[in-house]
Amino acid sequence: MSEPVAAVPAATTLMLRDTVHGLEVFMVVRHHQIDFASGALVFPGGKVDPGDSDVAEYCTGIQGSDAGAIAMMVGSIREAFEECGVLLARQKGSTDLISGSHLNALAHYRDKLHGGTITLKDFLEAEQLELACDSLQKFAHWVTPEMMPKRFDTMFYLAVAPQDHVAVHDGGESVDSVWIRPQAALDDAKLGRYTIIFPTRLNIELLAQSHTVQKAFEMAQNRPIVTVIPWTEKRQDGNYICIPEAAGYAVCEEKIPAAPA
């Protein structure tokens, strides 16, 4: 057997807010031409860029973290800015996240960062910004199964969306976006309104156990993060996808639907 393809580091953010109807999470619909989870409802995120490793001096809340963990956090914040226009950053020397009006003045950097016409380091230096890595809370860690031709080593983070930051999809990698209650996302998927892939669904189910942002953060802080590398098992009644029971999800195995004849 050939060796598994190396998993590419990636990061994604579950951007949360409290509403009168309960906890909501920001999600985007992937463009159909994207090569991973095309057309699916997902959390904003993507691959960690090489430049995400070069900005530790522009980060707060990274004490005790190794270079790989810092790059994951940076990638999560950068991707949230590029993909949905929310930037978890502070003006250098400030304790407050940047305001919505300040964010609007920085919006033109989204395409430049995504297109590689400016580096993240140059952006942070030019605008005297520090990334608020301390605003992120680890939520889950998933790695694509070893038999897949493309693999990602993905860290999921929780973050509180600043009230005056307007989250909106980028119109490129994502073609639609929605603030949605976790249970509503699950219900809509059952009705066929959205496609939600297995890892996303299980993380939405986990998030649905919390009715407020505070409860979601408390749950994540008190829950051990177990790395999930799904595997398949062939049984008498069909094939199953399995994950470690210790990961703490509602299910640890699920029958894979048979392909249509």
> What's the pLDDT tens digit per position in 209-240?
999 999 999 999 999 999 999 999 999 888 99
Q: Which of 37-46, 56-65, 89-98 has the lowest mean pLDDT?
A: 37-46
Place 3 in a pLDDT band, splitting at 50, 70 and 90.
confident
Asked whether residue 92 is assigned to any structural domain, the reply reads yes
pLDDT at 104: 92
Asked whether residue 1 is assigned to any structural domain, the reply reads no
Residue 69 has pLDDT above 80, yes or no: yes
pLDDT at 161: 86
Paired with 227 in beta bridges are 141
Q: Is 12 exposed, middle or buried (0-12, 13-18, 19+ CB in 10 A)?
A: buried
| Residues spanned by the domain of 173 | 8-225
Asked whether residue 57 is assigned to any structural domain, the reply reads yes
pLDDT at 186: 95
Asked whether residue 146 is assigned to any structural domain, the reply reads yes
Provide the CATH number for the domain around residue 83. Answer: 3.90.79.10
Place 162 in a pLDDT band, splitting at 50, 70 and 90.
confident
Helical H segments across the chain, by residue range = 67-84, 100-106, 109-115, 120-127, 182-190, 198-207, 213-222
Average pLDDT for residues 154-163, to the nearest whole number? 93
The 10 Å Cβ neighbour count of residue 156 is 25
Asked whether residue 206 is assigned to any structural domain, the reply reads yes
- Reference 249, options 225, 231, 233; nearest CA is 225
pLDDT at 205: 96
Asked whether residue 260 is assigned to any structural domain, the reply reads no
pLDDT at 102: 94
Asked whether residue 141 is assigned to any structural domain, the reply reads yes
pLDDT at 32: 45
Asked whether residue 85 is assigned to any structural domain, the reply reads yes
Q: In total, how many domains does the chain have?
A: 1
pLDDT at 203: 97
> At residue 29, what is the residue type?
V
If one compares 194 and 64, the residue with the highest pLDDT of the two is 64
pLDDT tens profile 82-129: 988 899 999 999 999 999 899 999 999 999 998 999 999 999 999 999
Q: Which of 71-75, 154-158, 255-259 has the lowest mean pLDDT?
A: 255-259
pLDDT at 156: 98
> For 84, which DSSP code?
H
Residue 157 has pLDDT above 90, yes or no: yes
- Reference 14, options 66, 64, 86, 106; nearest CA is 86
Average pLDDT for residues 152-178, to the nearest whole number? 73
Paired with 154 in beta bridges are 10, 142
